[in-house]
Amino acid sequence: MSTPTEIPEGPSKVELAPGVGGGGEIPSFDVTLKVRRYDPEVSAEARWDEFKVTMYGTDRVLDALHKVKWEHDGSVSFRRSCAHGVCGSDAMRINGRNRLACKTLLKDLDTSKPITVEPIKGLPVEKDLIVDMEPFFQSYREIMPFLINNGHEPTRERLQSAEDRERFDDTTKCILCAACTSSCPVFWTDGQYFGPAAIVNAHRFIFDSRDDAGDMRLEILNDKEGVWRCRTTFNCTEACPRGIQVTKAIAEVKQAVLSRSV
């Protein structure tokens, strides 16, 4: 055993201002949550309900919704599963922007005013913050979001170079939360547009070197309601909680459709 040449560093210590993180007290504040309520079993009209709750600096909008549901009004309905920004269940319109309730810290919002929480737009509301996702998933299914390979099935995994993998890396991050599609003004009009999410997931396979059905997907998206309805308003890119460059992906699919037929 050799003698160490360097004296090992001692455990690190970070000086924190009193009241911030560490062992200090977490700051708490009062917030007003203004929730869009809709219950077709009671009334065909939607309404706003306000709840005043005391929350902490480490809390997210989802925690505030939980507090409301568990302590104030058990009838408030919303979807959430993992609560950590991976499952894509709790996309909602918070202060007019599509975000995941589980990734939006209350302290980052203006807590001096009521925080508005609405269901995402463009899809039929079923109850409170829950929308019917079926039209969204139908578009997703139509672009065939699975590997299609005409070659022989290998006995081991399908190998791919790091560069080929990098080509579609950005669009593999999608969690199908519908924040992009439901932020798109073209989708709001009549819900006919395939929507950014379907195109992003088509992009993931179109540019995958192992996939052989790129042409079929391009043909599907060359539809009247396909990529050509994109007006590049960038709402989808801004809404994506995963930071996917959605509008760029759509533009790349447009280019692919063009270079295939022109």
Partner 1 sequence: MSVNSEIQAPRSARIAPEYMRNKGRKGNFEMYAWLFMRLSGLILVVLVFGHLFVNLMLGDGVHAINFGFVAGKWADPFWQVWDLAMLWLAMLHGTNGVRTIIEDYAEKDSTRFWFKMVLYVASAVIIVLGTLVIFTFDPCPANASAELLPSFCPAP
Q: How far apart are CA 102 and CA 221, in angstroms?
A: 32
The two structure tokens encoding residue 117: 């929480």
Work out how close the CB of 34 gets to partner 1 at its nearest, in angstroms, rounded to a whole number.
25
The stretch among 55-63, 98-106, 163-171, 250-258 that binds partner 1 (CB under 8 A) is 250-258
Q: Show Cβ contacts of residue 163 under 8 Å, excluding neighbours closer than 6 positions.
A: none
Q: Which is nearer to partner 1, 26 or 258 (CB)?
A: 258
User: Does residue 77 contact residue 130 with C-beta atoms inside 8 Å?
Assistant: yes
Q: Which of 36, 229, 238, 245 binds partner 1 (CB under 8 A)?
A: 229
Q: Which is nearer to partner 1, 85 or 226 (CB)?
A: 226
Q: Which of 19, 22, 124, 154 binds partner 1 (CB under 8 A)?
A: 124
Among 126, 244, 127, 224, CA closest to 181: 244
The DSSP H or E segment spanning 257 is helix 246-261
- Residue 135, interface with partner 1 (CB under 8 A)? yes
- Residue 75, interface with partner 1 (CB under 8 A)? no
Count Cβ atoms below 10 Å from residue 61 Cβ, excluding itself: 26
Residue numbers 25-54 binding partner 1 by CB under 8 A: 40-42
Q: Which of 185, 232, 234, 255 binds partner 1 (CB under 8 A)?
A: 185
Q: How far apart are CA 9 and CA 261, in angstroms?
A: 63
Q: How far apart are CA 138 and CA 181, in angstroms?
A: 13
Work out how close the CB of 171 gets to partner 1 at its nearest, in angstroms, rounded to a whole number.
21
Work out how close the CB of 189 gets to partner 1 at its nearest, in angstroms, rounded to a whole number.
6
Q: Which is nearer to partner 1, 53 or 257 (CB)?
A: 257
- Residue 152, interface with partner 1 (CB under 8 A)? no
Radius of gyration (C-alpha) of the chain in whole angstroms: 23
The stretch among 97-105, 153-161, 184-192, 202-210 that binds partner 1 (CB under 8 A) is 184-192
- The amino acid that residue 55 corresponds to is M
User: Does residue 242 contact residue 175 with C-beta atoms inside 8 Å?
Assistant: yes
Q: Which of 132, 164, 166, 169 binds partner 1 (CB under 8 A)?
A: 132
User: Does residue 66 contact residue 77 with C-beta atoms inside 8 Å?
Assistant: no
3-state secondary structure of 259: helix
Work out how close the CB of 102 gets to partner 1 at its nearest, in angstroms, rounded to a whole number.
21
Residues at the contact surface with partner 1, assessed by CB under 8 A: 40-42, 124, 126, 132, 134-135, 138, 185-186, 189-192, 222-226, 228-229, 231, 254, 257-258, 261-262
